[in-house]
Amino acid sequence: MSAGAKRVEQLDRVVIRFAGDSGDGMQLTGDRFTSETAQLGNDISTLPNFPAEIRAPAGTLPGVSSFQVHFADYDILTPGDAPNVLVAMNPAALKANVADLPSGADIIVNTDEFTKRNLAKVGYAVSPLEDGSLADFAVHPVALTSMTVGALAELGVAKKDGERAKNMFALGLLSWMYSRPFESTLRFLETKFAKRPDLVAANKAAFQAGWNFGETTESFTVRYEVKPARMKPGTYRNITGNQALALGLVAASVRSKLPLFLGAYPITPASDILHELSKHKKFGITTVQAEDEIAAIGAAVGASYGGALGVTTTSGPGVALKGETISLAIALELPLVIVDVQRAGPSTGMPTKTEQADLNMALFGRHGEAPLAVIAPKSPSDCFHAAIEAARIALKYRTPVILLSDNYVANGSEPWLLPSADELPDISVEFTTEPNGEDGRFLPYLRDPETLARPWAIPGTAGLEHRIGGLEKADKTGDISYDPANHEFMVRTRAQRIEAIEVPDIEVEDADESARVLVLGWGSTYGPIGAACRALRQRGLPIAQAHLRHLAPLPANLGEVLAAYDKVVIPEMNLGQLAHVIRAKFLVDAVPFNQVSGLPFTAATLENMLEDVVKNG
């Protein structure tokens, strides 16, 4: 696979979208292209977009699955607003995605799938390849399927297996077009199909055929290069938010010296965390796939009571079911991490689409005064550190912590500068092993004066036998108490101990400190907000950005930060849940900006909105 003699053009950034039928392997193709791109040293951000149905009827619009990758020779924050290149494996993929393309974009279509029947399935009376409707774009018709089958014929590969390798042909072609190193893909194929040498050969041959096609065909006249980005020195890998979150939980177990116990019930888009953690028993991790969401958190509470780092992972509908048990954990004052990978609701909603609409539930969604800590990661790799932070707070303050991820960060990916395990925070805590009261009594609700945490005395500790439960507890002794003054004290103390959790101050990015408008975000909107702010500053419009990782308790300096600006704008993928909190708590006339389409904000949307605020107030 030597470089061809074609013209080579330099680009600083490219956005490619691979789109096809759910069964066409577009997620895999995108993953491999991303990995090749990472190897090259570009900065990357990716966004998969797929239906909840495993295989919707072939060739239909609901069955379209896509994977978008944005790569550049500088650091980027989002998977890109609009693709420069669309790979459309069938008419449905073209139809579902063409509206997102800017004029001049390249479209590579698999002409073999543009049959009368397939066109009719998505309502094309005439093929868009022939009716001039794609005149604004550079269309590259490629007979992907038949060329793949042809290339594999001499290997004796069955036609069906040959057809299935067409995604590797497409990957080979795109890898040629963008001068990607392909060794990691060949290695990957060898591992993936280790038990089927015939499929290794077929997929490698399909990849090579795609590469060679690019080199020889006249329909591609230019080859592109995107130089490596300048990034901090160190070792990197590409990682999705769910992977990073799972690894963060492993790290939390290692750095707390406690066995990790995960109770989970399968739910999109959180199941991958269960899958990942179930592979790491070597670290002493126990995963229980429970009979339901309630049992999953129940088992985690039981394990926490026994001295493990108890964790449960789910999405919004699961958190709703877990509410009563979270309330129990608040009364028991035991460590617990609840991971909510948010998806679009209400009810089943859109399980594979993103939203930030569980903030209210996380902050307030329980009976009684039931406060807990809430934190949200801002990017895929930040899920790693956010998981450790959630565990730190849970263990030190003996409280449930809700970690609010969402589908956008969970399935999106970016390069991650690998930390060294030794440099991660030490989050270990001590179990109580000696009586803490007079006459050798043990007082399970005698608090640490600083953290207000109660002692964690686990079963098996002689002399500290005690009973806890959901009934109101008397201060210090933990006996059942209906005393009015005691309840007042305990309710206020539970609120106070969450407020007393030490969290870092919020930082403001305000390049020349001349901004009058502050944009405040939380969670996964960090990327698009950051990209929009950069674009505005480049155009000479000052804007300040602050991003909340801790949503409960809020950073101590937040009020001061908000008061320093004339205008505060809060973009959220909900109908203004953080904005409500900020307005209520700080009496700041914050302006909500909301999108609930199931898709992340584009940088352009936010740039336009913020430009208007900066210019017109």
Partner 1 sequence: MVSTIPITPVKLTAKDFKSDQEVRWCPGCGDYAILAAVQGFMPELGIPRENIVFVSGIGCSSRFPYYMNTYGMHSIHGRAPAIATGLSVSRPDLSVWVVTGDGDALSIGGNHLIHALRRNVNLKILLFNNRIYGLTKGQYSPTSELGKITKSTPAGSADSPFNPLSLALGAEATFVARTIDSDRKHLQSVLRAAAEHEGSAFVEIYQNCNIFNDGAFELIKDSTTREDHLIRLEQGQPITFGAQQQFSVTHPAGSFGLKVQEGGEALVHDATVDDPAYAFALSRLSGSDLGTTPIGVFRNVQRPSYDELITKQLVDAKAQADGTPEQMLDGLLNKADTWTIL
Nearer to partner 1, 306 or 349 (CB): 306
Nearer to partner 1, 148 or 185 (CB): 185
| Options 467, 538, 540, 589; binder of partner 1; rule CB under 8 A | 467
Q: Least Å distance between CB 230 and partner 1?
A: 8
User: Should residue 367 be labelled a site residue for partner 1 when binding is judged by CB under 8 A?
Assistant: no
Report 144-173 residues binding partner 1 (CB under 8 A): none
Q: Least Å distance between CB 196 and partner 1?
A: 22
Q: Least Å distance between CB 86 and partner 1?
A: 26
For 379, the token pair is 């990017």
User: Should residue 461 be labelled a site residue for partner 1 when binding is judged by CB under 8 A?
Assistant: yes
User: Should residue 282 be labelled a site residue for partner 1 when binding is judged by CB under 8 A?
Assistant: yes
| Options 59, 263, 412, 553; binder of partner 1; rule CB under 8 A | 263
**Residue labelled with tokens 């589908």:** 407
Report 6-35 residues binding partner 1 (CB under 8 A): 35
| Options 77, 267, 464, 569; binder of partner 1; rule CB under 8 A | 464
| Options 348, 469, 496, 505; binder of partner 1; rule CB under 8 A | 469
CA gap 62, 78 in Å, rounded: 25
End-to-end CA distance of the chain: 57
Nearer to partner 1, 154 or 423 (CB): 423
Strand boundaries in 75-210, DSSP class E? 85-88, 106-110, 138-142
User: Should residue 284 be labelled a site residue for partner 1 when binding is judged by CB under 8 A?
Assistant: yes
Nearest-10 crossing angle of helices 183-192, 26-40: 140
User: Should residue 420 be labelled a site residue for partner 1 when binding is judged by CB under 8 A?
Assistant: yes
Assign residue 398 a region (left: φ > 0; alpha: ψ between -120 and 50; beta: otherwise). Answer: left
What is the dihedral angle through the alpha carbons of 424, 425, 431, 437, rounded to the nearest 10 degrees?
180
Nearer to partner 1, 86 or 249 (CB): 249
| Options 3, 158, 471, 495; binder of partner 1; rule CB under 8 A | 471
Sign of the Cα pseudo-torsion (479, 483, 484, 485, in order): negative
Residue 530 is given by DSSP the state H
Q: How far is CA 530 from CA 49, 329, 525, 576, 603, in A?
A: 22, 36, 8, 19, 8
Q: How many residues bind partner 1 (CB under 8 A)?
A: 73
Alpha helices in 526-570, H assignment, sequence order: 526-538, 558-563
User: Should residue 303 be labelled a site residue for partner 1 when binding is judged by CB under 8 A?
Assistant: yes
Q: Are 248 and 33 in contact (CB under 8 A)?
A: no
CA gap 98, 81 in Å, rounded: 13
Name the one range near partner 1 by CB under 8 A: 146-154, 233-241, 554-562, 589-597.
Answer: 233-241
Report 581-610 residues binding partner 1 (CB under 8 A): none
User: Should residue 101 be labelled a site residue for partner 1 when binding is judged by CB under 8 A?
Assistant: no
CA gap 76, 97 in Å, rounded: 23
User: Should residue 100 be labelled a site residue for partner 1 when binding is judged by CB under 8 A?
Assistant: no
CA gap 242, 274 in Å, rounded: 9
Q: Least Å distance between CB 422 and partner 1?
A: 5
